[in-house]
Structure 1
Amino acid sequence: MMRAYVALGSNLGDSRQHLLDAIEALAALPQIAVIARSRIYRTPPWGVTDQPDFLNAVLALETTLPPHDLLDALLAIERAAGRQRSGERWGPRTLDLDLLHVAGQTINDERLTLPHPHIADRAFVLLPLHDVAPELDIPGQGKVVELLRNVDAQGCTAL
């Protein structure tokens, strides 16, 4: 079993329900156990700012799936939620599932970079990640608790 962390986000449709459905879909996979779940946060959009606020959360998982297979499972859950990848980065979406970190894994290929290269920049990831793993050391970036001190979390609220 490997420990993995997944970020969830949504700002289209019933965002809260999209997150809850994604958590249920992940928990239903036989190779995955959801071991911790953050609070849900309302956060301002990042990148493209002319869009609705997001709801964000993070899950801690135990899994036997290799990282690329876990990524495929996340993408399948996004598609089932109506996610359409139009090519616009950071735009509105029904569901976004990002694989943030898998213990002991460093990957950088055309499909996947682990740990996620932008964890340290994003309050919408660090706040919920802090809920489930404040002392997690992200290789090359630092501990979550320290990274959170260096981001602007203004406008982010726990629901």
Structure 2
Amino acid sequence: MATPPEHAPAPTIAYIGIGANLGDARAAVRGAFEAIAQLPATSLVRRSCLYRSAPVGTEGPDYLNAVAAIATGLAPLDLLAALQNMENAAGRTRPFRWAPRTLDLDLLLYGDAHIDLPQLTVPHPRMWERAFVLYPLAEIAPQLVPAAALAATAGQAVERLADA
């Protein structure tokens, strides 16, 4: 009698923050959605509209931000490496902390995982303080964003634009 094939583990739902404020930021965010959807063992589940926000902690042009929900079979560090490769391919440089960028991809949540490694912290350590993350996340996964977190960021200017 043949043994049944092993079942692959169910994919993990992860959320990725996307931002850009240099060059054609709208095209960069749209391209990021497309590139994320092409990752191995990954599918794009939902994507938020675009949101405009001022830079935090520095000066520069306004950012366009969004959040993608994915179902992925990639391990967290493999997903992080793929996101960093996308940033590099988009011409991202890191001359100083919070420098303007052609593309910024942050792994916000990875299922229910709590990860504290030198190269990766999940949940993202500053996501609960940033309206430009919370508003698009609340749009596609309202159950993940406590009302208190939205209220705490209500003074931050974020403008919902349109579909990405």
TM-score (norm 1): 0.91
Instruction: Please point out which of 7, 29, 35 is paired with 1:25.
Output: 35
Q: Deviations over 1:49-77 (max 9, x none)?
A: x2110000000000000100000010011
Instruction: Please point out which of 118, 122, 139 is paired with 1:114.
Output: 122
Decide whether the 8 Å contact of 1:82 with 1:94 is kept in 2: yes
- Give the ranges of 4+ consecutive aligned residues of structure 1 lying more than 6 Å apart after TM superposition: none
Secondary structure at the aligned position of 1:70 is classed as: helix
Instruction: Please point out which of 73, 81, 101 is paired with 1:93.
Output: 101
Secondary structure at the aligned position of 1:40 is classed as: strand
Mapped partners of 2:84, 2:35: distance in 1: 12
Question: 2:160 — aligned with what?
Answer: 158
Deviation (angstroms), 1:133: 0.7
Decide whether the 8 Å contact of 1:37 with 1:132 is kept in 2: yes
Decide whether the 8 Å contact of 1:134 with 1:145 is kept in 2: no
Q: Taking every aligned residue pair, what percent have the same amino acid on both sides?
A: 47
Q: Which runs of 5+ in 2 are unaligned?
A: 1-10
Decide whether the 8 Å contact of 2:53 with 2:159 is kept in 1: yes
Deviation (angstroms), 1:153: 4.7
Q: How many residues align?
A: 151
Task: Give the AA of the match of 2:119.
Answer: R
Say yes or no: does 1:3 pair with 2:13: yes
Q: CA RMSD in A?
A: 1.1
* Structure index of larger Rg: 2
Decide whether the 8 Å contact of 2:40 with 2:74 is kept in 1: no
Q: Deviations over 1:93-133 (max 9, x none)?
A: 00000000011211111100011111110001001111111
Q: Which runs of 5+ in 1 are unaligned?
A: 137-142
Q: Deviations over 1:11-34 (max 9, x none)?
A: 000000000111101111231111
